[in-house]
Structure 1
Amino acid sequence: MQNLTVIENELVPVYETSTGEKVVYGTELHQVLGVKSVYREWSARRLKDCDALEKQDFEAVEISTPSGQTMKNHIIKLDTAKEMAMLERNEKGKQVRRYFIKVEKKYKEMTHDMLADLSTELKAVIVVDKRVTKVEQRVEKLENNMTITHEQIQVIKNRVNHKITCLLGGRESNAYKDRTLRGRAYSRFNKDYCDYFRINARANTLTAKFDEALQYIDLWEPDTNLRIQILDSNSQINMEVA
């Protein structure tokens, strides 16, 4: 949902995406509705009330402010925006909802009129093009949801093993030889990794996140408590019984 073009600005600015989708910015909708609660709280509540799905009904984005800072925003499809306006249950919400309906009707009629003047051959081409676009969008969605391959799982496993071994001080270190401590290090890493990528197992890493996963492994560091345990273990003197 990028490359937005303003097509209506009578009440709430309405934008059109490169694929023809009609959308609004959440902060602009929030401002026109005159909501008293802050945007972050309101948007989270209303999107949940609408059962809106990210990447399907809206997209979370960050925009630059005049001061040079960034703020969280949402690009919201018109159907969801209508429902969010309606849920305000006041006159302004009704006004905004009627405005969105008017915009939808206007552009549907424009599309219909444009198609009416085209030849049968061109209409057929447009229908096929729309079908191809939908297929491409579905393929892209599937690709974005694909998890890493068996070979990539093995690459990550080897990278993790190398990382943990180095952090423990090598295979000959006391920390590495301490199975409990070694297991604690792996457990801590796996939890941090899964929390970061919002998955329940490393094998569920998205293919699109593979390179980021390798970088995460290289940069990961244990928490202070675990680091102290590793240092304490490696500082102990091994006593050999003659």
Structure 2
Amino acid sequence: MNQLKTIANEMLPVYENETGEKLVSARELHKQLFSRQEFTNWIKRRIENYGFVEGDDFLTTLSKSTGGRPSTEYLLLIDTAKEIAMVENNEQGRVIRKYFIEVEKRSRAKQPQSIEDLIIMQANSVKELKQEVATTKQELITVKNRVDNWDKVNPDGNEQQKLNNMIRKYAADNGIAFPESWRHFRKSFNNAYKTNIKALMKNYQTKHGLKSITAPQYLSMIDRLDDGIRVADKMLNSQTFLTTR
């Protein structure tokens, strides 16, 4: 690591060695992906599952010993890091992969031919970098909020309980009554899918002779719980407070 220079560090460090190869620490990538798997198992599974080859796709070094057995550190070529971020198949992975692509794009940018070119190029780069950092920060805030929200939603319950708990959290976050939060949910659901869930629930209840039915029960019966959870997730991460009449 001592012979590497840092060429980008807006989201996580990207390094460059003496031959111009761009490298990413697997441990730092693992941390930024919010993976809950133990690091050593995580990286070994990805190397095995996707056929990465040491020397071609990644390098290994031993960490400095602090009295115990030194651990193995993995330095991923940036193409390998992009692939690992992509196969995480979540929003954070896509954000990080986009970041790597932007780092490569900046690295490949044409070198300035004069002092005037350098001044213009630096001014444009600073402006673009500020915009990219602002966008990336907002994306990370959204992802972090989503992770926090899902951590606080009953992970052991069924999908109906999950939706119910998400709406309960929305009520607590916004300081409103639980029934009011369901009115917000119905309005959001109607806006998202151009429908009238309250009327549909009433028709379903009448048709099947039910005394009562809740939104999670109805959405489960018509196989649309995933749609409801997506709406609730948007509500929890929205900066706009819905108003209802």
Output the TM-score relative to the length of structure 2.
Answer: 0.43
